[in-house]
Chains A and B, each alone.
Chain A
Amino acid sequence: MLIKSIFGGKSEMTEASSKKCPVVLMTRIRLARNLSDTPFPGWAKAPQRKGVLETCLPAVASLTQMKRGITAEVEELSDLEKQILVERHLISRELSGSPEKAGVVISKDQSVSVMINEEDHLRIQVIKSGYRFKQAWNSVNGIDSSLEDELDYAFSSQIGFLTACPTNVGTGMRASAMMHLPALVISSQMEKVVRAVNQLGIAVRGLFGEGSDASGSIFQISNQTTLGESEQEIIKRLSSVLRTIIDQEMNAREKILEKDPNKLFDKIGRAYGILQNSHLLTSSECMNLASLVRFGVDLEMFPEKTRNIVDRMFIECQPGHIQHHAGKAIDSNERDAFRSQYLRNQFESIDKPVFTIQED
């Protein structure tokens, strides 16, 4: 039942960015909050965890933003359901492995999710497609304020919201953008970017793999510090780093097309060929092919409607989603076969790439 409603609606994740900003797929802000007078979840005893869940779950579920959403205790979810929620970024791996009395509430449009008894009593998250920090902040801030009317938060005027880990204290806010950076990866500049950005207190991690080898060339860029700056200041600083990275990616794209277009055309052409004809595709290879086709869409080598197919690939070609589509638990070999079949169907009607570059 849960899975049905998750697949029923469109999600911010699969309806990603417009052409206006091809680089940023989605924006996410999460706030860490704790109740006053109760130990943090990792140290709380079973009855205390239970009390937190019983206080928070109804408070969150009754928010107007959560109308007709999903409310669940983690214990009630099947392994596959948990995996799918993790793959959609609606719950964390930590929550999916939580021993007991953990819960989640997800809005109908899947843009809001609130985890209960994760590392902190509450983790409030808003996801927006594309580059939309302002909207994400307004939304998460509103939810936080409504919850605060019902719940007593642990807060110190000196160091702000008190969190289980001191790395989150203060605003308790982690803002992040998911960026598609194929040209920086192809031209081996990602490591340099990661180092430069780290020095500014901004973290970079691969979404499907670590560091500069991330498959799919998708990276999550987020603030590392939460104390000493206001939320707006943090977002402003993060945004200016994002803009620099976007510029670098765009420069790298231009340079590749100028210097060695055949190398790029070859990669994109092969990706198209594999997606139309392969019979075994691993999840990681699939992410890399999706990345190349998405790059091709940005360069207008494929029709714009292809973007949506590709953005869905990033989510729906992950193991949990594949098993759901297959309708039963299947091993990794069968998944690779199923995945390739799904993509052969998807790409059957996509015209072959146009290998001339339009100047804007």
Chain B
Amino acid sequence: MAKPLKCDLCDESATVHLTQIVNNQIHKIDLCESCAEQKGITDPNGYSLADLLVKPGQEAEEPLEVTAGGLVCDECGYTQREFKKTGRLGCESCYATFANLLSPALAGMHKGERHKGKVPARAVERKTYEDRLNSLEGDLQLAIEEEHYEDAARVRDEILDLKKSTKPEESE
């Protein structure tokens, strides 16, 4: 048997061989299974994602300052640049922030663009509650602005009822 290559990070034998071109220079990396996994390199999904998000050639030409005009998540401060670098997101709101970037990528990496699986009862209950509350609070605001005080009083009662009856229980 031919002597196997050694891993660049430890001295196990290398089974993962990568060639990357960075700034027109070829870098060869040989890694063992465990180091490759630690670096997230063996995950075929991680790769296809990077391919989908960054078209070949695009990254090299793009100056790094380009993110000045890039998107930033209001909730968590995650940037478009971070997203392109890691292929990961910062928080649940990032899905809305980066929706335009994500949508074609999701279509490419999955079987469809709509969730067809399990729906968590509690999350839906909470969402319904919040949507209803938001809409009533909007109505209330409008009624006050337009000086329809009877309507305003009615809506306020509705809000109180909603809060009393359907507010999801806080878990102890």
A residues in contact (CB < 8 Å) with B: 34, 36-40, 42-43, 93-94, 97, 119, 141, 144-145, 148-162, 164-171, 173, 201, 203, 205, 208-210, 213, 224-231, 233-234, 284
Closest to B122 in A: A148
B115 at the interface (CB under 8 A from A): yes
Q: Which residues of B contact A210 (CB under 8 A)?
A: 15-16, 33, 36, 42
Measured in the bound complex, the distance between the Cα atoms of B95 and A164 in whole Å is: 10
B6-46: contact bitstring with A at CB < 8 Å (1 yes, 0 no)? 00000001011000000000000000011011101010111
Partner of B45, one of A160, A165, A208: A165
Instruction: State which size class the interface on B falls in.
Output: 35 or more
Q: Which residues of B contact A40 (CB under 8 A)?
A: 88-91
Known: A40-B91, A224-B45. A153 touches B106 (CB 8 A): no
B residues in contact (CB < 8 Å) with A: 13, 15-16, 33-34, 36-38, 40, 42, 44-46, 48-49, 75-76, 78, 86-92, 95, 102, 105-106, 109-124, 126-127, 171
Do B38 and A97 have beta carbons less than 8 Å apart? yes
14 pairs across A/B with beta carbons < 8 Å?
A38-B91, A42-B90, A43-B78, A94-B40, A119-B88, A152-B123, A165-B89, A167-B49, A170-B115, A171-B118, A209-B15, A225-B109, A230-B117, A233-B116
Measured in the bound complex, the distance between the Cα atoms of B90 and A234 in whole Å is: 27
Partner of A159, one of B86, B87, B113: B113
Closest to B171 in A: A150
Known: A165-B45, A205-B42. A170 touches B110 (CB 8 A): yes
Nearest chain A CB to B83 CB, angstrom units: 9
Do B126 and A152 have beta carbons less than 8 Å apart? yes
Q: Which residues of A contact B114 (CB under 8 A)?
A: 158-159, 227-228
Known: A228-B112, A228-B116. A165 touches B87 (CB 8 A): yes
Q: Which residues of B contact A284 (CB under 8 A)?
A: 13
Do B89 and A225 have beta carbons less than 8 Å apart? no
